[in-house]
Structure formats: C-alpha cells, structure tokens
C-alpha cells in the first residue's frame, strides 16, 4: 500500500464491483438530470413570465402613490416624475423608467360599450422591451406623439365594439376629483397577442392627451414603471429607489403588485423543491444500501488493514472518500447526459401550446408559447451541493461501521 494515497485506494475500491457502482451512478445521474431540467425549466419560465407581467403591468419596480396598492384610483398620483426617473436610471441594473397612467375605463362606440383596462403611455419612451404589446400591433400604427388623439385596442375588444381603424371611440373614467369624465379618440391600431386577457380587454392611450382629459400636470402620472435587466434584483432596486423618495411616493416590487402570480410561482418552485428533495432521499437510500453492503462484505479486509496499522479514522475516511468519488463521478455522468437535452431545450424549447393549450394564462399573465430552459447559477450550485450532500450523508453510517471493526473478530469470522 505504500505510495498509494487513500484517495486512489478509494477510487480502486469503487470499481471492484463494477455493476453495482454503475447502477448507483445511474441513479445519482438520473436524479441530477431530472433536478437540473426541472429547475432550469422553472428558472427560465418564471423569469419570462415575470418580465411579461412587468411589461403589461407596471415594470419590475413601480413608483406610485403610497395608497395606490391598497386602492388603485386615478386620484392617487405621483408628481415630479422626471426627477424620480433620473434617480432610478442612476441605479446600475435599471434599464429604463417610463411614466404610465393605468386603470379601468368604459369604451363606447356608436354600437356598443365594454369595460376594459387602459394603459396610457408616451410613445417616444416605450419600446417592445418595456411594452411587449408594441410587437403585437397587427393593423395600423403606434401613436405619433404623446398628444396624439388616438387609441389602440386589443383586436377582440375592437371587434366586440364594432370599431374599425379610424372610427371614433369614447372612453369614460373617473378623473382626479372623482368625477366621471369622457374623452374621444380615433382607433389607430389593433394588437393581437394570443392572450385572451389582452386581446379582449386592453386599450392603449397616449399619455399627454389623457393628462389633458384627467386634469393631470405635465409631470404627473399614476405610475413610474421601472425596468431592470434581471427580475431577481427587484427588491434591491425597490429599496434603493425608496431611499431617494419622499413620503408621497412608494417604490413597490412586482411581487407586491401581483401577489397572486408571485404566490403561484412560489407554489410551483416549492413543489419542485419538494419533489427534488424526495428524489434525493430515495436516491440516498439506494446509495446507503450499496455502500453498507460493500462495507459488510469487506469486514475481514478492514480487520486486516487495521491489524496492519490503519487507524479507525483512516478507515472512516476511506469509505467517505468512496462515497465522495461516487458523488463526484455521478455528477460528471449527470453533466454528460444532461448536456444534450439541456442544449436542445435551451435553444429549441418545448412547444407549450401543444402541451397545455393555446392562450394559457396564470393569474391573467400569458405563458410563453415556447417553454425554454435556463438554469440560474445559484440553482446549479444548489443542485451540485445537494447531490454531494445526499451522497456523503448516505456514506456516514457505513463509514462509521468500517471504522469500528474489531480486527481479531473480523479476521476469525470469515
């Protein structure tokens, strides 16, 4: 044994029973494979949905009146938006900050009337990165300016109203004083996204024209929608932004604006963590069985080693190293079998529409039509550590048993 380190010794032991080791490796890599794909699907999809919710809602972080969250009305506004937008933009991860007025309205044409949601925007400041429906304009064009006298409707909503491009649409809402007020606009364009909530219930108005109707100042709106490059930083950005604000405005992260979507995501993430934990326990039970039997088979051998001068702690370390190798090789094998499917799913994705139906919505937010995977670095580290910890924990008792061999007894026994 001279010149052979304990690590090499453990490695050789592993391959003495090749079939058993291969089966154990198969179970480890199967577990890691599933955990990676499941987590990667969630990481990517929920991030996509949160971004989408931010784009049709009010950004990843919203600056609004402190009471707006409780009772959203057009009387609760924030002013001094330009200054707030400037301080938002100075936070490193912030991509853009745009003013918006949003709320419910009643739309009427000569033929019919329907309730709808409206978002009033400044066409000069919005891009598809901040307002995803801009990409879904199928007929007509975006407003020429913030003071345009136009309106853009979801395609289904427009057909319900019997409105054609160029037709007059009357919108009615409650103004700053709580009085009913109406404005007239011409239908400029239609949006068709495939999401029923948007196509059947969304209208866009030019923010300047609406400010005039509602009696808002030039620098006033219900919201400043702040977009950041990574939704996971929402809380941090909200806190940083809040520090620069006075008492008359609050910076609210997306998950407080949309608690139901956030709860749904938390349920799904919690569910998959639970399944992964059950899998880890089951796989660890299998590893324990293998290691334990392999120790019991070698009691005589361990007795001899001890008689030759191995200390109990060295035997303990030997078996722990064996389980370490199992975990390590299992992870490498997992990486090899996961790479292909992962690459395919991250570039091509799954056709979600075929799997769960067209126009699937969660809490009113459309699911991406193609489900792709993308693992957060943090998740990758957690899965690796989890798999390694499960393997090492399964090895603890067998290793302890190996360290407690009675040399004389075990050599006699066989």
Q: Which residues contact 196 (CB under 8 A, 6 or more apart)?
A: 156, 359, 361
Q: Which of 66, 364, 369, 407 binds another protein (CB under 8 A)?
A: 364
Spatial distance between the Cα atoms of 84 and 122, rounded to a whole number of angstroms: 16
Return the HEC string of 259-316. HHHHHHHHHHHHHHHHHHHHHHHHHHHHHHHHHHHHHHHCHHHHHHHHHCCCCHHHHH
Tell me if 111 contacts another protein by CB under 8 A.
yes
Q: Which of 9, 11, 114, 400 binds another protein (CB under 8 A)?
A: 114
Tell me if 52 contacts another protein by CB under 8 A.
no
Q: For CA atoms 328, 329, 334, 335, give the dihedral sign.
A: positive
User: Are 185 and 168 within 8 A, CB to CB?
Assistant: yes
Where in 182-211 is the site for another protein (CB under 8 A)?
196-197, 201
Q: Which of 159, 242, 346, 379 binds another protein (CB under 8 A)?
A: 159
Candidates 98-106, 302-310, 327-335, 384-392: pick the segment binding another protein (CB under 8 A). Answer: 98-106
Q: Which of 80, 140, 328, 359 binds another protein (CB under 8 A)?
A: 359
User: Are 14 and 325 within 8 A, CB to CB?
Assistant: yes
Tell me if 389 contacts another protein by CB under 8 A.
no
Considering the complex, state which of residue 359 and residue 374 has its C-beta at the smaller distance from another protein.
Answer: 359
User: Are 248 and 78 within 8 A, CB to CB?
Assistant: yes
Considering the complex, state which of residue 218 and residue 370 has its C-beta at the smaller distance from another protein.
Answer: 370
Beta carbons within 10 angstroms of residue 177's beta carbon: 10
User: Nearest approach, Cβ of 96 to another protein (angstroms)?
Assistant: 28
User: Nearest approach, Cβ of 152 to another protein (angstroms)?
Assistant: 17
Beta partners for residue 371, in sequence order:
350
Q: Which of 143, 254, 288, 310 binds another protein (CB under 8 A)?
A: 288
Q: Which of 46, 254, 292, 316 binds another protein (CB under 8 A)?
A: 292
Q: Which of 2, 18, 178, 247 binds another protein (CB under 8 A)?
A: 178
Q: Which of 102, 105, 222, 231 binds another protein (CB under 8 A)?
A: 105
CA torsion, ordered 177, 182, 186, 190, to nearest 10 deg: 70
Tell me if 311 contacts another protein by CB under 8 A.
no
Q: Which of 83, 92, 128, 162 binds another protein (CB under 8 A)?
A: 162
Q: Which residues contact 180 (CB under 8 A, 6 or more apart)?
A: 172, 173, 174
Considering the complex, state which of residue 98 and residue 345 has its C-beta at the smaller distance from another protein.
Answer: 345
Tell me if 362 contacts another protein by CB under 8 A.
yes
User: Nearest approach, Cβ of 95 to another protein (angstroms)?
Assistant: 28
Tell me if 350 contacts another protein by CB under 8 A.
no
User: Nearest approach, Cβ of 246 to another protein (angstroms)?
Assistant: 24
User: Nearest approach, Cβ of 253 to another protein (angstroms)?
Assistant: 15
Spatial distance between the Cα atoms of 236 and 225, rounded to a whole number of angstroms: 15
Considering the complex, state which of residue 125 and residue 172 has its C-beta at the smaller distance from another protein.
Answer: 172
What is the DSSP code (8-state) at residue 105? E
Spatial distance between the Cα atoms of 23 and 27, rounded to a whole number of angstroms: 6
Beta carbons within 10 angstroms of residue 412's beta carbon: 10
Where in 225-284 is the site for another protein (CB under 8 A)?
259-264, 266-267, 275, 278-279, 281-283
CA angle 8–11–13, rounded 5-degree value: 110
Question: Helix (H, G, I), strand (E, B), or coil: what is residue 158?
Answer: helix
CA angle 318–320–322, rounded 5-degree value: 70
Considering the complex, state which of residue 71 and residue 347 has its C-beta at the smaller distance from another protein.
Answer: 71
Tokens found for residue 351? 């056709």
Considering the complex, state which of residue 278 and residue 385 has its C-beta at the smaller distance from another protein.
Answer: 278
Report residue 328 CA to chain centroid gap.
Answer: 29
Tell me if 16 contacts another protein by CB under 8 A.
no
Tell me if 135 contacts another protein by CB under 8 A.
no
Helix axes 259-297, 377-403, angle to 10 degrees: 30
Q: Please report, as ranges, the residues that interact with another protein according to CB under 8 A.
A: 19-20, 23-24, 26-27, 30-31, 34, 71-75, 103-106, 108, 111-117, 159-160, 162, 172-174, 178, 180, 196-197, 201, 259-264, 266-267, 275, 278-279, 281-283, 285-286, 288-290, 292-293, 296-297, 355-364
């Amino acid at each position: 044994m001279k010149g052979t380190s304990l690590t090499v010794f453990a490695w050789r032991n592993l391959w003495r029973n090749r079939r058993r080791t291969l089966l154990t490796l198969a179970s480890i890599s199967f577990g890691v494979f599933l955990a990676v794909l499941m987590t990667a699907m969630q990481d990517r999809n929920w991030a996509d949905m949160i971004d989408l919710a931010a784009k049709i809602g009010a950004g990843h972080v919203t600056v609004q009146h402190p009471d707006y969250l409780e009772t959203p009305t057009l009387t609760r506004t924030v002013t001094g938006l330009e200054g707030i937008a400037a301080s938002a933009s100075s936070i490193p991860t912030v991509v853009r900050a745009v003013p918006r007025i949003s709320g419910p309205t009643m739309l009427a044409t000569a033929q019919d009337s329907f309730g709808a949601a409206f978002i009033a925007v400044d066409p000069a400041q919005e891009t598809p990165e901040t307002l995803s429906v801009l990409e879904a304009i199928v007929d007509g064009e975006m407003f020429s300016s913030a003071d345009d006298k136009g309106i853009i409707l979801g395609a289904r909503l427009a057909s319900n109203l019997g409105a054609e491009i160029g037709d007059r649409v009357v919108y009615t809402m409650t103004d700053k004083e709580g009085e009913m007020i109406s404005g007239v606009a011409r239908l400029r364009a239609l949006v068709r996204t495939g999401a029923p909530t948007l196509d059947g219930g969304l209208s866009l108005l030019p923010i300047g024209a609406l400010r005039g109707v509602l009696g808002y100042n030039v620098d006033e709106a219900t919201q400043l929608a702040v977009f950041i490059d990574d939704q996971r930083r929402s809380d941090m950005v909200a806190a940083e932004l809040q520090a620069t604000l006075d008492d008359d405005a609050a910076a609210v992260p997306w998950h407080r604006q949309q608690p139901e979507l956030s709860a749904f995501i938390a349920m799904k993430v919690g569910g998959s963590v639970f399944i992964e934990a059950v899998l880890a326990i089951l796989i660890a039970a299998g590893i324990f069985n293998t290691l334990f039997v392999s120790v019991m088979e070698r009691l005589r051998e361990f007795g001899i080693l001890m008689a030759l001068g191995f200390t109990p702690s060295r035997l303990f370390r030997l078996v722990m190293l064996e389980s370490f190798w199992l975990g390590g090789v299992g992870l490498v094998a997992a990486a090899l079998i996961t790479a292909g499917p992962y690459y395919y799913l991250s570039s091509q994705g799954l056709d979600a529409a075929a799997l769960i139906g067209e126009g699937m919505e969660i809490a009113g937010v459309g699911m991406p039509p193609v489900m792709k995977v993308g693992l957060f670095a943090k998740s990758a580290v957690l899965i690796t550590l989890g798999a390694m910890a499960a393997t090492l924990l399964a090895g603890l008792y067998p290793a302890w048993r190996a360290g407690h061999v009675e040399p004389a007894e075990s050599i006699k026994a066989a």
